[in-house]
Amino acid sequence: MVIDYIFLIVGGFAAFLVAWVNGANNAANAIGSAVGSGMMSIRKALWFTALFDLLGALFFGKFVSITLLRGIVNISIIDDPLIVVIGMITALFSTGLWLIITTLLKIPMSISQAIVGAILGFGLVTVGFSQINWSKVFEIIASWIYLPFVSIVLSIILYRIHSRIVSKPSYLRFIIVYIVFTTCILFTTIFLLLVKTTRITDVFYAFTLSIIISISISLLSTVIIHRILPKNIDYAREFVFKTLLFFSCMAMAFSHGANDVANSAGPLAGIIYIYEQGRIPGDLVDIPFTAILLSGIGISLGIIMWGYRVVETIGEKITTLTIETGFIAQFSGSLTILIVTRLGLPVSTTVAIVGAITGVGLARGVRSINTKTIFKIITMWFIGFPAVAGLTALLTFIGIELIK
């Protein structure tokens, strides 16, 4: 039992490491546009993001179940549960190490990209080439290519719509803009958190409830906004878009905590299950609250302690953002995540946000974007996959040899 307990402690540390560096790297997804546009200082933005990430993890993380190994590796043919534990630990450590490297380089990196590579490396060493679900692997890789294009197109369209709206500014127009976009922000957030399957009944229930809640809150808040909205049309315009950008950042942070907590808490849940039951769990495992709490705290501390590293890249180095273009990028990224997730396709918040910000820049002309920064980001995305896979394979092989 001593060695089992040691594996549990090591697994907990590895999960915390991934959660911590996930927060450090992905904080920019929620606040990069707000900081880059000058709406919020970096210090306030980090604390704000840490709070809503933690709330998202604690309130909604317990309802999330994770498919262990993401359906990529057939672990059912593995006889020794300890090998699965070693695989989860090495996958977490490899993912954490790569995210530390990319954060040092100020590169926004999706944790899902690293985790997929880690799982693939584990599978190749333990079950072999034939037991890998290659169609799933290629589907995920393909998403890293088409997802940014979806975000780019959507943000360009929204930029054009925005340009028409503000070309003839009026008090009524800005009130309507507030109602429409607030409802959309609330709907995308609530719907993503409520629906976890593509069954028609589940989707219909989540859609109906999301519509009712989002419209109700939006109309209620409009009454308040109408009373405090500045009478000067220019100040009213700035106030509306500042409020919308704040809401979209808050929603993104909350959603990130609710969904991404499972990336570290999920493997830890599997380790806990094997420690307690002595056998490999089934495909789905409920995540214990202790695992969610540990991972949620890890994400929040990562945001506060190191979140500033990547914020500059997202907020300033891809293209110059204003409050209004920052909101368009943030909203486009969120909407892309909703659309692609509901199509049942792999999704990455980081890829969506980078694509959306690039789209806002392209809407103003190619010269408005920093192509060197974009090339560096994309290069690191595709280097990361084989790098993490190779490191996990090596560490898994060493770990298995040590327990023989």
The pLDDT assigned to 69 comes to 53
Tell me the C-alpha distance between 317 and 88, whole Å: 35
Predicted local distance difference test score (pLDDT) of residue 288: 85
Question: For residues 3 and 143, what is the distance between their CA atoms, to the nearest angstrom?
Answer: 40
d(CA 257, CA 161): 31
Q: How far is CA 118 from CA 266, 384, 389, 394, in A?
A: 14, 10, 5, 11
Residue 293's pLDDT is 94
What is the per-residue pLDDT across 138-167, written as a single tens digit (0 to 9) for each? 887 888 788 889 999 999 999 999 999 888
Q: How far is CA 296 from CA 50, 58, 157, 289, 309, in A?
A: 9, 7, 35, 10, 20
**308 CB neighbour count, 10 Å cutoff:** 19
Give the number of domains in the chain: 1
Structure-token match 């994770």, residue found = 66
Indicate the burial class of 226 (C-beta count within 10 angstroms; 0-12, 13-18, 19 or more): exposed
- pLDDT, one tens digit per residue, over 298-343 is 999 999 999 999 998 998 899 999 999 999 999 998 888 777 766 6
- In terms of residue numbers, what domain contains 20? 2-403
Structural tokens at position 232: 């000067």
CA–CA separation, 315 vs 325, rounded Å? Answer: 11
Tally of CA atoms within 13 A in the half-sphere of 132 that contains its CB: 17
- Taking 50 as the pLDDT cut, the residues of the chain under it are 1-2, 65
CA angle 399, 96, 271 (to 5 degrees): 55
